[in-house]
C-alpha cells in the first residue's frame, strides 16, 4: 500500500498548456517535498512545504500544501519542453522517526514543442 498517491501517473501535453499534479494521502505529514528527476539521474529537490495551506512559487511552478497537511499539488503554468521529467512527491510522516521519507509513485510529464 502506497502511503502517498500521485495522479496522474502520466501526462503528455503541448508547450504552453497548464497542468496540475496531485499528491494525496490519508496520513498527516509534518512536511511534504516535491522532486524532479531526469533519466539516468537522481531526484533533485524543488521545494519543501511545512505549514498547512502554504503556497510556494518557483517561477512557473506553484506548490500548495493542503490545510490538513494530508495532500499537496504542483501546478505548472505555460509548460515548456524543459519541464519534461518525473515529478515525485515525498512526505515526512508526522510522528515518525526522523529520517524516514515516503515517496509517491511519480508523475511522468512530457511537454511537446
Partner 1 sequence: NAGVTQTPKFQVLKTGQSMTLQCAQDMNHEYMSWYRQDPGMGLRLIHYSVGAGITDQGEVPNGYNVSRSTTEDFPLRLLSAAPSQTSVYFCASSFRSPGSSRATQYFGPGTRLTVL
By C-beta, is 56 or 75 nearer to partner 1?
56
Residue 68: its H or E element: none
**At closest approach, how far in Å is the CB of 15 from partner 1?**
26
Told to check if 33 binds partner 1 by CB under 8 A, we report: yes
SS3 36: strand
- Which residues are 112's β-sheet partners? 14
Count the helix, strand and coil residues of the chain and give each as a percent rounded to the nearest 5. Answer: 5, 55, 45
Q: How far apart are CA 93 and CA 61, in angstroms?
A: 24
Residue 63 cell numbers, joined: 506548490
- The count of residues interacting with partner 1 (CB under 8 A) is 31
**At closest approach, how far in Å is the CB of 70 from partner 1?**
15
By C-beta, is 11 or 90 nearer to partner 1?
90
Residues 73-112 that bind partner 1 (CB under 8 A): 88, 90-92, 97-106
Residue from 24, 27, 48, 62 touching partner 1 (CB under 8 A): that is 48
Told to check if 39 binds partner 1 by CB under 8 A, we report: no
Who's near 50: CB < 8 A, 6+ residues apart?
Answer: 30, 31, 32, 65
Contact residues toward partner 1 (CB under 8 A) are 2, 4, 6, 9, 29-31, 33, 40-45, 48-50, 88, 90-92, 97-106
Amino acid at each position: 500500500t502506497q502511503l502517498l498517491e500521485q495522479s496522474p501517473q502520466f501526462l503528455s501535453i503541448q508547450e504552453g498548456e497548464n497542468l496540475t499534479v496531485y499528491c494525496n494521502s490519508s496520513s498527516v505529514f509534518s512536511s511534504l517535498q516535491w522532486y524532479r528527476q531526469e533519466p539516468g539521474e537522481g531526484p533533485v529537490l524543488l521545494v519543501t512545504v511545512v505549514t498547512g495551506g502554504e503556497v510556494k512559487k518557483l517561477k512557473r511552478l506553484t506548490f500548495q500544501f493542503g490545510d490538513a497537511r494530508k495532500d499537496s499539488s504542483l501546478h505548472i503554468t505555460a509548460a515548456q519542453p524543459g519541464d519534461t521529467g518525473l515529478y515525485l512527491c515525498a512526505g515526512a510522516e508526522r510522528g515518525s522517526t526522523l529520517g524516514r521519507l515516503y515517496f509517491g509513485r511519480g508523475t511522468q510529464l512530457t511537454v511537446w514543442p
